[in-house]
Structure 1
Amino acid sequence: MKIFSVEERVSFFETDASGIVHFMFVLRYFEIGEREALRMAGIKVGDPGRGGVHIPRVHVEVNYHHPLFYDDQIEVRTLCECIGRTSLTWHHEIYRGDERCVSGTMITVLLNKETGLPQPIPCQWRRYLQVEEGESL
């Protein structure tokens, strides 16, 4: 299965004065979805000195459909929508129950740890993350 899902609960510090999730914390949820997808693929992200890879975000788009509130139980669904030569395009959706509250895309680029330049996505990543025909969130 290429759709990755993780459950979270909205924390108080993620909300603004009106009790609604501050827009920037949605990116944190997207990152959690991406991290879990990569972790399940056996890909360690982070400090290259500790075996991790560097995959910075280069583009993000977010659509806010319904507000999220303090203590909401949410589900972050993540799908690697497109695998380019050096990039991964992630599609994320955040649900509260059956209600889609947020959707968006995030593009990341795999960098070579020595040169800091983009490098090709490994074949084993492609096999694990590739979307199967007809699969969507």
Structure 2
Amino acid sequence: MDVQEDVTQPDEYRPATAEADDHPAQQSGRSIMVQRRVEWSDTDASGHWHHGATLRWLEAAECLLLERLGVRHAIYHRLVRVHQEFDYHHVLQHMDVVDTHLQVERVSTTSITYRLRVTNQDRCCVSGRMVCVLLDPDTQKPTPWPDELRHHLEAPAALPPETLSSNWPQTGEPSNKRSTN
């Protein structure tokens, strides 16, 4: 079912594509990359990563993006998720290093659409989108993005990535390798 036709979803929480928009779409807004390792708690009984890890990595990237822009305290508690879609392309295993790439795809009147890619060694493992709506702090109703925040989000620039320490074993090196000295 197309989410735009779902009558159980209030109009104000429909994705950006259903929203009347006075602003032109910005196809390549701010972006950030956050690197994480697939932890044991990210795996399921099959030994592969659990899809729920994608949401944690996405939220970590979103929080860091907003923090680096200096707007996290102003809006993070006001953003509600209204639509998420993910396609899973490749399996990940415990201890794999993943890069979560998050980009502002579009800032509409009251919503923001993020584009997501999770990669492992330059191979796309997950691709997707998430739409959030900005709420008025008093009424808890959708509210238009203030121009200043819109400009921060729409600027076509990558922010500095957050990467893992180089102290971890390299790919292919057993993590339980012990020194013989």
Q: TM-score range by the shorter chain?
A: 0.7 to 0.9
Contact 1:41 1:125 (C-alpha < 8 Å) held by counterparts:
no
Percent of aligned positions that are identical: 34
1:5 aligned onto 2:33: yes
Q: Which has the higher strand share?
A: 1
Q: How many residues align?
A: 129
Q: Tell me the TM-score normalized by structure 1.
A: 0.86
Report the CA distance shift for 1:97/1:131 in structure 2 as closer, same or farther (over 3 A): farther
Report the CA distance shift for 1:10/1:92 in structure 2 as closer, same or farther (over 3 A): same
Structure 1 spans left out of the alignment, 5+ residues: 133-137
Secondary structure of 1:56's partner? strand
1:89 aligned onto 2:113: yes
Alignment of 1:1-137 (within 5 A): 2-45=30-73, 53-130=77-154, 132=156
- Cα deviation code 1:32-74 (max 9, x no counterpart): 12111111111225xx8xx853101000000001011111111
The offset of 1:24, in angstroms, is: 1.8
Secondary structure of 2:77's partner? coil
Contact 1:53 1:110 (C-alpha < 8 Å) held by counterparts:
no
Please list every run of at least 4 consecutive aligned residues from structure 1 whose deviation after the TM superposition is greater than 6 angstroms: none
RMSD between superposed Cα atoms in Å: 2.0
Distance (whole Å) between structure 1 residues aligned to residue 143 and residue 88 of structure 2: 33
Q: Which has the larger radius of gyration?
A: 2
